[in-house]
Structure 1
Amino acid sequence: MSSSPVRRAPGGPVLQDAVTAAIATAMFEELAAVGYGKLSIEAVAKRAGAGKAAVYRRWPSKQAMVLDLVTQVAVSSADTPDTGTLRGDVLAYLSGTAAALNHPLASRIVPDLLAEGSRNPEMAATLLTQVGGTRRQKVAAILRRAIERGELPADTDIELGLDFLAGPLYWRIGVLHDPMDPVRIERLTDKIICAIAAAPGSGD
């Protein structure tokens, strides 16, 4: 008998966390290997050593499975621990995000999902709100803490600042395929802070 923790789906059977974790790992590996278009529930189940029914008990479709699991990982990777300074917070965020984008699976999955979103409006909308929107809300804490500390003006443009935090890093890693060594991340941190502090404020 397995000693793995179990949970019950609403109105459904008990779901073993170990099986869910195996399916999640298999989904990311399969998605990175074949892309969203060729991804199938059957292949994910086989890679996880589970039956298709185990997948369908957790998610009603391939799209639901992918969006749920991707959202969980993307949002958790946007955690912003308070280091005590704006520079420390920005550096921690950029370093963590760079590590996530440079992961062998993420480096193949992220561009594929963005491309799929251009063909699938429902997926694009979900990625924008559940992933992009939630991540931006969490990362905004970096700038709000800096305002509270007096490191940034009270009227700092939060939305523009979030663009500065996300855009340059993704451009270098996602588009130019530059892994961004620690020295470059340090330099980018200082440039971003200067840009945010210098940008005309328009409020929150």
Structure 2
Amino acid sequence: MSSSGSELGEFDRVRERRGGRSERVRVAVMGAVRQILQDSGYGALTHRAVAAAAYVDNATIYRRWPTRPQLVSDMLRDLSSDLVPVPDTGSINGDLTAYLSSVLAMLTTPGTKKLAQSIFAASIEGDDVVAVVLADFWQERFSGSYKMLDRAIGRGELPAMLDHAAIMDALVAPAWFRTFISRMPVGEEFQKRCVMAALAQAQTEK
């Protein structure tokens, strides 16, 4: 058998093994989506390219993820859950500090930074569906982080009536601005100022 025939046979065997296990298919596809976005950008993200990279049948991908934005949406959810966990340190200062540190670690990792840039570029360049996916993703992600604030209310560290979104904006928006716009340092002193700004925002709502 020729080398190309052997490679094709291996492709089919891997595809068959993964196709029989839904979770393995999902993990393989999400990994392929992330790699394509990091390496080549949103324009290169096609179902055929994902199928080849993930060793999954093209029809399987179309069936589970009919559009490119759906592929991006699921990949973002997996990525955020892995890289930005919601901490529970026992204090609001500790929680906000740990959360911001995780956000910055995600944003400053070269592969993840390039991934974010390619997705933002797609939304800025006129892909309205991707823009909606991003908005929904961040709303969902921030809603999860609100648990930190609710726990702090329960401990008496924060007032009961809060604008959760405004507090999280005060915490993380400067990190995004410095990472992608101003390119200024995001070290320890900067992070302390962000946490102080978020806590100050909370106290204005008493």
Does structure 1 residue 104 correspond to structure 2 residue 110? Answer: yes
Deviation readout 1:47-97 (Å, 9 max, x if unpaired): 222331232232112222122222332255443121101121012101211
Unaligned runs of 5+ in 1: 7-12
C-alpha RMSD of the superposition: 2.8
**Which structure 2 residues correspond to residues 1-204 of structure 1 after superposition, within 5 A?**
15-118=21-124, 119-129=126-136, 131-177=137-183, 180=186, 184-185=187-188, 187-199=189-201, 201-202=204-205
Closer, same or farther: CA 197–61 of 1 in aligned 2, 3 Å = closer
Q: Which runs of 4+ in 1 moved over 4 A?
A: none
Closer, same or farther: CA 198–68 of 1 in aligned 2, 3 Å = closer
TM-score by structure 2 length? 0.78
Query: Any conservation in 2 of the 1:156–1:196 contact (CA below 8 Å)?
Result: no
Residue 132 of structure 1: how far off its partner (Å): 0.8
Classify the secondary structure of the residue corresponding to 2:99. helix
Closer, same or farther: CA 17–171 of 1 in aligned 2, 3 Å = same
Relative to its length, the structure with more helix (as a share) is 2
TM-score by structure 1 length? 0.78
Residue 177 of structure 1: how far off its partner (Å): 4.3
Classify the secondary structure of the residue corresponding to 1:80. coil
Unaligned runs of 5+ in 2: 1-12
Q: How many residues align?
A: 191
Q: Percent identity?
A: 29
CA–CA separation in structure 1 for the residues paired with 2:95 and 2:17: 35
Query: Any conservation in 2 of the 1:41–1:52 contact (CA below 8 Å)?
Result: yes
